[in-house]
Amino acid sequence: MSASPVKIGLCGLGTVGSGVVDIFQASAKLIAKRAAVPVELAHIGARRDRPGCDTSAYRVSRDIFEVATDPDIDVVVELIGGTTVARDLVVAALEAGKHVVTANKALIAEHGNELAALAESKGLALRYEAAVAGGIPVIKALRESLAGNRISSVAGIINGTGNFILTEMSSAGRSFDDVLAEAQALGYAEADPTFDVDGTDAAHKLVILASLAFGIPLAIDGAFTEGINVIEPADLRYAEELGYRIKHLGIARRVGDRVDLRVHPTLIPSDSQIANVNGVLNTVMINADAVGEVVLVGPGAGALPTASSVMGDVVDLARLLGRGQSDPIPVMGVPQSDVASLPAVPREQVESAWYVRLRVEDRPGVMADITRLLSAEGISIESLIQRPPKAGSSEVDVVVLTDNASTGQLDRAWLAIEALPAVKVAAGRYRVEEFKGE
């Protein structure tokens, strides 16, 4: 171990940043053995101290850009989040010749094309294992392990906060607001949880997975996105009754020479493995021509699991830098010059089975009207629930599970059904997918 230490600059002392400090404090010796070179946390940039995180042994700057341009630093770890200052910081670090490790999915999804091109033009690494699925090594699986495969789909539960909320709502019958408050207290959800509940966070991650899987540019507007904030407790109950659970899935499929990217609540069979991935756990299922299906499960959020992925990237780079070598792996799996767009499958053509929930007047002929309108669009009914009205009410819930139908078919039937005078609320429609996760 004669090589001089590899020096790490850490920007951001939030949840994940403090986890990185914890790992350095707990495991520096072990990490030095594995990297075959000492790896030193040499400079921390943070606007303020973090209670409970002892940084007295380190050089600390209040200006994170001092870390990015510190001539002593080899690798800058960006953990400040957001896409404005974080982007400037990563650009500054790359311009200053530093390798970069980040956990920032929004940054990679929105500015990754530009940042990857900059990193590759300078022969520098831009690593982001922690940006998708927390502690699960899915970036490495796609970018390295499966490099001999043509990937046909990547799908999974890729937002830990959302899965935690759905699990609690479903198993404990708790309200959305109540569970969200707990998720924030546990450090899973951001202070502003908008991206977790409206699907944006999962879309960021899906776009990264799709880019790696299919060699396409990062394009955040390429994914159809629906969040968990549209799900009502009644949907969770009816789904369970029909033998399904509702999970918030990201799905990226290659269909011929086109791609289908979407993030939405999805009914999946209750007895499938993925339906039982609960709480803050994430899972990613990869289908590919040689390997078949590989499924990864692990914590999708939290300080230490996410920091574990950050440190995996740091050790990868330290092993290279300790020998004076550069990162041999293209940022997005293929060199930027080989990244090529594929057209999207038009949304109206995307097929699946569907769950439809309506609130209708309890009078003869209503069910006949609904089934006729579905049938007129060529949509078959797989199963149907109708409950007697509650005491004092003249309205009933009607829940329909359909066979496979395109989004176009379903949209047209939905419009016609909504227009029926007896239909009071067209409450929700979700896709049903037969993912097994095994």
Six-digit token string for 105 = 């999915």
CA–CA dist 91, 96 (Å, integer):
8
List residues bridging with 40 in a β-sheet: 7
The answer to whether 92 contacts its own copies (rule: CB under 8 A) is: no
Binding-site member from 215, 224, 382, 403 for its own copies (CB under 8 A): 215
Site string for its own copies, 352-371 (x = CB under 8 A): --------------------
> 147 in helix, strand or coil?
coil
CB 40 within 8 A of CB 9: no
Find the helix or strand (DSSP H, E) in which 195 lies. Answer: helix 194-197
The answer to whether 9 contacts its own copies (rule: CB under 8 A) is: no
The answer to whether 203 contacts its own copies (rule: CB under 8 A) is: no
The answer to whether 35 contacts its own copies (rule: CB under 8 A) is: yes
Closest approach of Cβ 145 to its own copies, in Å?
Answer: 4
Binding segment (CB under 8 A) for its own copies, from list 141-149, 162-170, 350-358, 400-408: 141-149
Closest approach of Cβ 27 to its own copies, in Å?
Answer: 6
The answer to whether 119 contacts its own copies (rule: CB under 8 A) is: no
- 173's CB contacts (< 8 A; 6+ apart) are 233
Catalytic residue list contains 7: no
Please list, residue by residue across 35-46, b when 16 or more beta carbons sit within 10 angstroms of its beta carbon and e when fewer do: bebbbbbbbbbb
Handedness of CA 167, 171, 177, 178 (dihedral sign): negative
Residue 245 or residue 357: which is nearer to its own copies going by CB?
245
The answer to whether 277 contacts its own copies (rule: CB under 8 A) is: yes
CB 384 within 8 A of CB 360: no
The answer to whether 148 contacts its own copies (rule: CB under 8 A) is: yes
- 294's CB contacts (< 8 A; 6+ apart) are 141, 146, 285, 286, 288
Binding-site member from 6, 75, 259, 311 for its own copies (CB under 8 A): 311
Report the amino acid identity of residue 153. Answer: S
| Residue 32 dihedral angles phi and psi, to the nearest 5° | -60, -40
The answer to whether 408 contacts its own copies (rule: CB under 8 A) is: no
Closest approach of Cβ 177 to its own copies, in Å?
Answer: 27
The answer to whether 144 contacts its own copies (rule: CB under 8 A) is: yes
| Residue 91 dihedral angles phi and psi, to the nearest 5° | -60, -45
Residues lying near its own copies in the complex (CB under 8 A): 19, 22-23, 26-27, 30-31, 33-36, 129, 135-137, 140-141, 144-150, 215, 273, 276-278, 281, 288-299, 302, 304-305, 307-312, 314-316, 319-320, 322-323, 325-326, 328-330, 333-335, 338, 437-438
Catalytic residue ranges:
205
